[in-house]
Amino acid sequence: PPHSDQPLLIIPPSKHNTTQTYNPTMTNSTILVTGGSGLVGQAIKAYTDENSQPGETWIFLSSKDGDLRVRADTDKIFDKYQPTHVIHLAAKVGGLFANLSQKVEFYRENTLINDNIMENCRLHKVTKLVSMLSTCIFPDKTKYPIDETMLHDGPPHPSNEGYAYAKRLIDTMNRAYAEEYGCNFTSIIPTNIYGPHDNFSIQNGHVIPGLIHKCYIAKKEGTPFTIWGSGTPLRQFIYSLDLAELTVWVMREYHSPDPITLSVDESAEVPIKDVALAVAKAMKFEGEVVFDTTKADGQFKKTACNKKLRSYRPDYKFVSMEEGIQKSVDWFLANYETARK
């Protein structure tokens, strides 16, 4: 999409220090999901198709509905749908190279989007706004496991600081909107997400979808399935349908401006090698699996603590990595022609 040339306008509040009164019940609610066509948006759609509550109307936006960087477009969307709840997933995202080379655009465009969404939620007296953050916006130099209280403890990794600071400001502004206007705005911090409707690009996709596509090609061409690096780094992966269920729970039940990490337990952290072997098994790949140790490994671990989530949902059962990968592989094979890759 073209870069936005508009300046970042700070719209003065119409009435100062007006505390809005919110009805926390979900009866006759219209829930607007920005970024509704992506990995998480489609997972929320699949979940709510089966688990919608009476009186809920779900609307999933895509870029065809308007440009959220543009205030007038965002105003029109809110005027049209009059949402009572918003789940905000839309963002300008990209891989390492894009983040490095376009820090200005990643900062400005995400800040414009977030400001337009938050101001419209205030002006339309939206009952609840849930925005999505990411573990990649945490301080670069930190101790592990990371938790919600450490978000602003130091600068992010220099490679994605434009994106990271724009996203961190969501947390800052959630608290500011709560203090000044009584708004019920919060944010979620997922770990590595995977599942149906992912971006399966080998160059720009994330670990699991990239491995699925790579394994598919290796099987088709009868070549070795080659994984970059030693396979030793550890990661926590959350299946998109689990994240969808927990995001809807946050919208309905979790009412604090402080962010909440949505992640599998620390004990479910797995080496990339196990992920690659699970992909090979799900793909019924019987060829050679090779770890190319001439390629860099990246960070050894980025463990996130989910104690806060567990204090609310001690019995929540996550889909196992093996089952989630099998479902993702099955979806990729069934939708190969149309999948993003």
Token output for 206: 């994330």
Best CA proximity match to 244, nearest among 172, 316, 163, 166: 316
Best CA proximity match to 269, nearest among 232, 242, 235: 235
How many residues make up the chain in this entry?
Answer: 341
Cβ(127)–Cβ(22) below 8 Å: yes
Which of the residues are catalytic? 163
What is the distance between the alpha carbons of residues 119 and 133, in angstroms, rounded to a whole number? 18
Cβ(61)–Cβ(76) below 8 Å: no
252-277 burial string, b = 16+ CB within 10 Å, else e? bebeebebbbbbbeeeebebbbebbb
Best CA proximity match to 149, nearest among 246, 306, 259: 259
What is the distance between the alpha carbons of residues 1 and 9, in angstroms, rounded to a whole number? 21
What is the chain's Cα-based Rg?
Answer: 20
Q: Is 276 left (phi over 0), alpha (psi -120 to 50) or beta?
A: alpha
What count of other Cβ atoms lies within 10 Å of the Cβ of residue 249?
16
DSSP classification of residue 318: P
Best CA proximity match to 33, nearest among 22, 17, 46: 46
| H or E, element range at 246 | helix 240-253
